[in-house]
Amino acid sequence: MALQWLLLLSLICSALLLVDVTHSASQDVRKAYIVYMGDKPKNEVPLSPLHLNMLQDVVHSRNIEDFEHEALLLHSYKRSFNGFAAMLTEQEAQKMGGMDGVVSVFPSKQSKIKTTKSWNFLGFPETVKRSKLERDIIVGVIDTGIWPESYSFSDAGFSPPPKKWKGKCQGNGNLTCNNKLIGARYYRASRSFEDDVESPRDSNGHGTHCASTAAGNLLSVAATTINRQFITKVQLGNGKIYEGLLPNIHDLKGKFYPLIYGGDAPNTKNGADASISRFCFQNSIDANLIKGKKAADEVLGLPPVSASYVSLEENRNIYKYINSTRNPTATIWKSEEINDVLAPYVPSYSSRGPNSAIPNILKPDLAAPGTYILAAVPPIDGGRLGGYNFKTGTSMACPHATAVAAYVKSFHPKWSPAAIQSALITTAKPMSTRVNPEAEFAYGAGLINPSRAPYPGLVYDLNEQDYINFLCSQGYSGKLLQTLTRDKTSCPKSNNGKVNDLNYPSFALSIKDPKFINGVFHRTVTNVGSSNSTYKAKVAASLGLKISVNPSVLSFTALGQKKSFTVTIAGPIEKSSLASASLVWDDGVFQVRSPIIVYVGI
């Protein structure tokens, strides 16, 4: 991920954002429009000046940033795609749509802030038909610990832990469990605890945030769903305004403060130098040097103060400004909320495929919300909203997947982990390559879909022997294999297993030459939908790919019945090193979708 900069303010204020994105200019009403320009350029072309020039051509003004005392350029999209949000009249929007390089122009619909949960974005209903089995599901989290005092872990209304629970609460004198947080342990590997405490109590914040996302209590706190973006503007003393991406609830009311670069204020008494203080690590800044000032730091976390992330390009301009005057000043405005109409898309911080260890296993499996997720944190992590804070990363996506897996298991307690994984993958919502050019290597099967996941129709199941055969095909044998299985397991003499034969709910084929493609996959599905059902295979493939399924019709007469089939892939791939496809088994009620990707291996 490209390094982003964070502008910090030492003064903490508390106010909530209310935004009006429409205004009147002369006799024409302006409103927010999204100008979509396709994929981001492969070269490092600065996009903000380009977008500003396009606006100047449309509105015939050379002072866009001060047009009627309001910035018309609301935001430049430059991380996952090329485009911008701007305040335009209907006539200007039509004119913009005819410009070279513009794919489409459409209004940005405004929505009020209503929910703390990304679950709304995923379409997860708060009330569903409850199974009698849907209770006593235990979610385990291995992380930095937990802050039990958070309301997210209150046990109000909870009955005692289920009888099957055999764990313990290793509080070590400073942590108490309850009927919600039923157990806690702490472990130390080879390192000492250093600044941490010898207990499950969280002194970092990561574990509390993830646990409350996966299995926290329902709350009602103002925030935003995942298809929103927070635009936070930074204004320098010279009048320049730069946009950043960060939820900022603190209102400075336009007051300017002295500005200092964190690298110029190291806490030398604590052993820090500029290489440390530039990142604003704890105790690395000399408090006397930054008192009453704003600090420009290279930080990736979300602080409990007014802050805004800016790009490297904007960072350089801010740094130049700091060094160009004796008294640099700046202010940070409250965030503006805009509807991210192109969501969901996979941001740059997310890990991507292909799978370097096993090229013919698709990475990732699927996508889940991970940007600006609001969840519980301990006081040391600076809870900005009464013990809650926003965090971003793949670590925030994982507890969403964990929660949905637990939800599926509550309906199907006897399903194997592989069957649950299959349900999550085959029911995921397909995502668009328009804003995710890496296709399946960015989002896998697509966006996790909790409302459909308990009802997949068919599952691709795996048992222990399947995994052993797979490990044997990868060269694991003898003591190495027994180290993993913890018994006297050995590879069968007749084992001729291949990666392609692992009963996985997706298909990945790494090739050397795009002109010559030949891949064969063997799969078996188990009927978990309707007892009497007939599924037909539907294949969608990129130009050049030839995919056949044999047999192409699977008929079932009972639940739990298994049927096998073969998928054959031939080529060539035309004009690309990557080609996407999909296989859907459809019985008219259930659609069981598996992603397929063929690519030239590195």
d(CA 257, CA 254): 10
Half-sphere exposure of residue 452, counting CA atoms within 13 Å on the CB side? 21
Catalytic residue among 206, 264, 490, 530: 206
Query: Do 338 and 232 touch, CB atoms closer than 8 A?
Result: no
Catalytic residue among 48, 61, 203, 395: 395
148 Rama sector, left if φ>0, alpha if ψ -120 to 50, beta otherwise: alpha
What are the backbone dihedrals phi and psi of residue 79, each rounded to the nearest 5 degrees, phi first?
-100, -45
Catalytic residue among 75, 108, 118, 143: 143
- Secondary structure (DSSP) of 293-356: SEEEE---S--SSSEEEE-HHHHHHHHHHHHH-SS-EEEEPPPEEEE-TT-S---TTS-----S
What are the backbone dihedrals phi and psi of residue 204, each rounded to the nearest 5 degrees, phi first?
-120, -45
Q: In a 3-state reduction of DSSP, which class is residue 399?
A: helix
Any residues with CB less than 8 A from the CB of 81 and at least 6 apart, and which?
36, 37, 38, 39, 40, 342, 345, 434, 435
560 Rama sector, left if φ>0, alpha if ψ -120 to 50, beta otherwise: left
Amino acid at residue number 515: K
The interaxial angle of helices 478-485 and 464-473, nearest 10 deg, is 150
Distance of CA 142 to the CA centre of its chain: 19
In the 3-class helix/strand/coil scheme, how is 68-82 assigned residue by residue? HHCCCEEEEECCCCC
Query: Do 208 and 151 touch, CB atoms closer than 8 A?
Result: no
Instruction: Give, rounded to a whole angstrom, the gap between the first and last alpha carbons of the chain.
Output: 21
The interaxial angle of helices 47-59 and 90-97, nearest 10 deg, is 120
Element (H, E) at 291: none
What are the backbone dihedrals phi and psi of residue 437, each rounded to the nearest 5 degrees, phi first?
-60, -20
Active site residue 506: no
Active site residue 522: no
Helix (H) and strand (E) counts for the chain? 11, 24
Residue carrying structure tokens 């996009």: 47
Among 403, 96, 392, 415, smallest CA distance to 245 is for 392
Tokens describing residue 597: 């990707």
Active site residue 75: no
**Residues with catalytic roles:** 143, 206, 395
